[in-house]
Amino acid sequence: MEFDLIELIRQRTAQPRDDVRLGIGDDAAVVAVPSGQELAVAIDTLVEGVHFPRGTAAADIGWKALAVNLSDLAAMGASPAWALLSLTLPYADRVFVEGFVEGFAQLAQSHRLALVGGDTTRGPLAISVAVHGFVPPGKALTRAGARIGDAVLVTGTLGDAAAGLQVLQQPAQHDDGQNSLREFLIGRLNRPTPRLAAGIALRDQAHACVDISDGLLADLGHICAASGVGAEIDAALLPRSSALLGLYDDGAALQFALSGGDDYELCFCVPASRLAQVQADLARLGGGATRIGRIVAGEGVRVRGHDGAWLDTTSSGWEHFA
């Protein structure tokens, strides 16, 4: 049965690439890194009940398991090439695997990413994906490098995924005409969009970059710590979707945007002189980017409220072992 599942995965994720010399079916894959490129590698694990709610559709789990890793490549300015998949299942559930691999393949094939190997084993439902991507030498984006005076920007909108999780945990008791808003937020939780094109466009523009997986405050805080700087952001500038603002008041929407995780948008720093050009470039790619603040001397992240006073930001985001 295990080999039947592996064959199912292999067939659905087939993606011919000249740089894959040997893919699924041997003890290891053999791949060739193109001349003049460096290899960016990332791995994430998703555990049922921790990283996705029990009962999440298998196709959504497959999509998200890959998307969170592609988001890491996006934050480095890398273009995706290959992936490895480790799938732990309570039992050999073909129906689940069919759904899972469908969601995984939809995202993989849209980025010409080849699944070149992995593992299946028995245990509590968990998925580990390792991705590999290319970046020109010396062009990888990192969390270090932010400079005093840089503008701080984010792609997309913030807080949707965390709000979507709350929607799932506190379902509406009646139809109040807002189901489409709830479905949008849940979709943002289950099927995040890795900002790969934006990351590539930022290679020669951004001083520092990170993807927002644990929440804006936490992840921008990583940039500040790595760069030895502080950041000031304005609550009024945070981009929030009409669905988020339609279901929650401004205070709740702000908390989701600041501390909610799972958005997988990019947060990055660019020289103020390049702000207009970068925003124009990313607008052409779709999604755009919003300036939310600036890099300053000091440490940590401070948030200015609508009244100009600094907000209490004690809750900074998700911590895996809290």
pLDDT in tens, 274-304: 999 999 999 999 889 999 999 999 999 999 9
Distance CA 311, CA 234 (A): 10
**Are 244 and 163 a contacting pair, CB within 8 Å?**
yes
What letter does residue 298 receive in the DSSP assignment? S
Distance CA 44, CA 50 (A): 13
Place of tokens 């709610």: 53
What pTM value is reported for the model?
A: 0.92
pLDDT in tens, 119-169: 889 999 999 999 999 999 999 999 999 999 999 999 999 999 999 999 998
Question: Which pLDDT score is estimated for 320?
Answer: 45
pLDDT in tens, 7-66: 887 777 777 889 999 988 888 999 999 999 999 999 999 998 888 888 899 999 999 999
Q: What are the sequence ranges of the domains in the chain?
A: 2-135, 151-304
Distance from the Cα of residue 254 to its chain's centroid: 20
Question: Which pLDDT score is estimated for 317?
Answer: 53
Q: Is the dihedral of CA 275, 280, 281, 286 positive or negative?
A: positive
pLDDT at 5 over 90: no
Distance CA 105, CA 63 (A): 8
pLDDT in tens, 97-110: 999 999 999 999 99
Listed in sequence order, the residues at least 6 apart from 27 whose beta carbon sits closer than 8 Å to its beta carbon are none
Listed in sequence order, the residues at least 6 apart from 321 whose beta carbon sits closer than 8 Å to its beta carbon are none
pLDDT band of 322, cuts 50, 70, 90: very low
Q: Find the helix packing angle between 179-190 and 58-76, rounded to 10°.
A: 60
What letter does residue 289 receive in the DSSP assignment? E
Distance CA 28, CA 262 (A): 32
Topology adopted by domain 2-135: 60s Ribosomal Protein L30; Chain: A; (3.30.1330)
Distance CA 246, CA 210 (A): 28
pLDDT band of 318, cuts 50, 70, 90: very low
Among residues 93, 56, 8, 67, the alpha carbon closest in space to that of 191 is found at 67
- For Cα atoms 89, 91, 92, give the angle at the middle one, nearest 5 degrees: 95
Which carries the bigger pLDDT value, residue 266 or residue 93? 266
What letter does residue 52 receive in the DSSP assignment? B
SS3 (DSSP) at 279: helix
pLDDT in tens, 74-92: 999 999 999 999 999 998 8
pLDDT in tens, 171-211: 765 556 688 999 999 999 999 999 999 999 999 999 999 99
pLDDT in tens, 240-255: 999 999 999 999 999 9
Question: Which pLDDT score is estimated for 175?
Answer: 58
Question: Which pLDDT score is estimated for 1?
Answer: 56
End-to-end CA distance of the chain, in Å?
Answer: 38
Place of tokens 């279901």: 247
Distance CA 180, CA 178 (A): 5
**Are 238 and 158 a contacting pair, CB within 8 Å?**
yes
pLDDT at 311 over 80: yes
Tell whether domain 151-304 is in CATH 3.90.650.10. yes
